[in-house]
Amino acid sequence: MPASTRPKILLLIPHLGGGGAERVTALLACCLSAEKYELHLGVITQAEAVGEEVPSRVLLHALGAPRVRAGAWPLLRLVRQLKPDLILSGMFHLNFLVLLLRPFFPRETRILVRQNGSVSSALDLSRTTRWLYRLLYPRADRVICQSQAMAEELARELRVTKKRLAVLPNPVDLEEIRNGNGHTTWTGSGPHLLAVGRLSPEKGFDLLLRALVAVRRDFPEASLLIAGAGAEEMALKTERHALGLDEAVRFAGAIAQPWSLFPDATLFVLPSRQEGLPNALLEAAAAGLPIVALPASGGMVDLLRGKPGAWLAPEISAEALAASLLAALHALRPGERFAHPFVEQFQLDRAIPAYEELIDEALHERQL
C-alpha cells in the first residue's frame, strides 16, 4: 500500500527497555504490518530517538518528559503535528494522559488503550485513581484486556460497555525465548528460585522473602534471584537482612531479556498480590519452567489452575506461597521442564493478527 494511503498508527509507552508492558508495545512496533500501516512509536520519558528494540521502519519520537504526567504538552504537540489515524497506549497511567487529552486531539483519531494491570488493585490505590478510571476509560474507542476476567471486572467496576472491551492475547516471542542463550547465574546446589518484576508492593516480593525462610528449613541450600528494579529495593534488601537471607537472595536489577536467566532456574515464582497477566509468567512458561504463583487475578487462576507443572497457591499469603513452593520442590526432578501448551495462544503469529483485526475494526468505524 502506498505510504500516502497507509493509516498512521502511533504506539505510546513511557520508555523503551522497561517491563512487560513496554515489551508488548515494542513487539507490536516490530511486528505490526508495515505494508498496512505507517508505524510510529512515541516514548514519553526518553530524550533520544534511538532504540535497538524497534526496526528502522518504525519512526521513533522521543518526547523527553521527566515523567509521564509531565508529557502532556509534548504529546499534544506530537499528535497535532502527526495527525495519527489511531493511537494505542500501553500502560494505565499513560492511558489516563491520552484520554484526558483526547478532546484536544483531531476528532477522527481513534484511541485504543491497553490495561496492563489488575483493575481492582488500581482502584484500591486512591479515590483520585478510581475517579480517573471511571471518568476517562469510557472515552476510549476500545479498552484492550489481557483476559476475560479482566474484561468482566472493567465492565463491572468502571461501567465500560462490553462493545468497547476487547480481550487480546499478549504477544510473546516464543521462538526467541526458546532459542535464546542463557548463562550460569547461581552457585551452590540449589534449588534455585527465579522471580521477575518491578520492585513494588503489589508484586509481593516481601511475601516471597518470608516464604523462602520456610522453604530453607527443608532445602537449606535454596537460593532466590530477583530480577527487576523499583522503589521498594532498599526496603526489600533491609527485610532480606532481617530474615537472615543475605547469602540466599540476590537482586539482579532490571534485565532486558529475563529469559537469559531461565536455563539454570529450578522454577519460576510469581508472588504478586495483584496482577493482570504478566509477560514474565508467559515467558517463563514458554521456556518450560515449573511455575509457582499466588492467585493474583482471575485471569491467572483461569490460566494456571490444574495445569501440569504449575502450582497455584489457594490464597495470597507468605504461608500459602511457602506451602506451594515446598510442594513443587518435593515433586520436581532435577532440571524438569514442562510443555505448558496454554502459552501457544500468545505466540506472535496468533497475537499480532488479533491486534491488527482490532485496529482495522477501529479504523473502519472512523470512516463511518
Residues 59 and 73 placed together within one structural domain of the fold: yes
The pLDDT score that the predictor gives to residue 361 is 95
Q: Whose grid coordinates read 515494542?
A: 26
Residues 320 and 274 placed together within one structural domain of the fold: yes
Q: Which residues contact 242 (CB under 8 A, 6 or more apart)?
A: none
The pLDDT score that the predictor gives to residue 285 is 96
Residues 103 and 182 placed together within one structural domain of the fold: no
Kindly report the pTM of this predicted structure. 0.88
CATH number of the domain residue 356 falls in: 3.40.50.2000
Q: Which domain holds residue 249?
A: 175-345
Residues 92 and 165 placed together within one structural domain of the fold: yes
Residue 295: how many CA atoms within 13 Å on its side-chain side? Answer: 12
Residues 214 and 325 placed together within one structural domain of the fold: yes
Residues 127 and 115 placed together within one structural domain of the fold: yes
Residues 180 and 168 placed together within one structural domain of the fold: no
The pLDDT score that the predictor gives to residue 92 is 80
In the chain, which residues have pLDDT < 50? none
Residues 283 and 241 placed together within one structural domain of the fold: yes
Pairwise CA distance, residues 230 & 289, whole Å: 25
Pairwise CA distance, residues 258 & 251, whole Å: 13
Decide if 335 contacts 189 (C-beta within 8 A).
Answer: no
Residues 313 and 356 placed together within one structural domain of the fold: no
Residues 308 and 353 placed together within one structural domain of the fold: no
The pLDDT score that the predictor gives to residue 121 is 61
The pLDDT score that the predictor gives to residue 365 is 86
The pLDDT score that the predictor gives to residue 278 is 87
Residues 158 and 263 placed together within one structural domain of the fold: no
Q: What is the pLDDT of residues 246-271, one digit of tens each?
A: 999 999 998 888 899 999 999 999 99
Decide if 15 contacts 46 (C-beta within 8 A).
Answer: yes
Query: Could you give the number of structural domains in the chain?
Result: 2
Instruction: List, as own/partner pairs, every contact residues 278-283 make where C-beta atoms lie below 8 angstroms and the sequence separation is at least 24, other chains included.
Output: 278/20, 278/197, 279/19, 279/20, 279/21, 279/23, 279/24, 279/170, 279/172, 280/19, 280/20, 280/196, 280/197, 282/170, 282/172, 282/343, 282/346, 283/172, 283/177, 283/196, 283/258, 283/259
The pLDDT score that the predictor gives to residue 243 is 98
Residues 136 and 42 placed together within one structural domain of the fold: yes
DSSP secondary structure, 269-331, as one string? EE--SS-S--HHHHHHHHTT--EEE---SHHHHHHHTT-TTEEE-SSSSHHHHHHHHHHHHHH
The pLDDT score that the predictor gives to residue 207 is 98
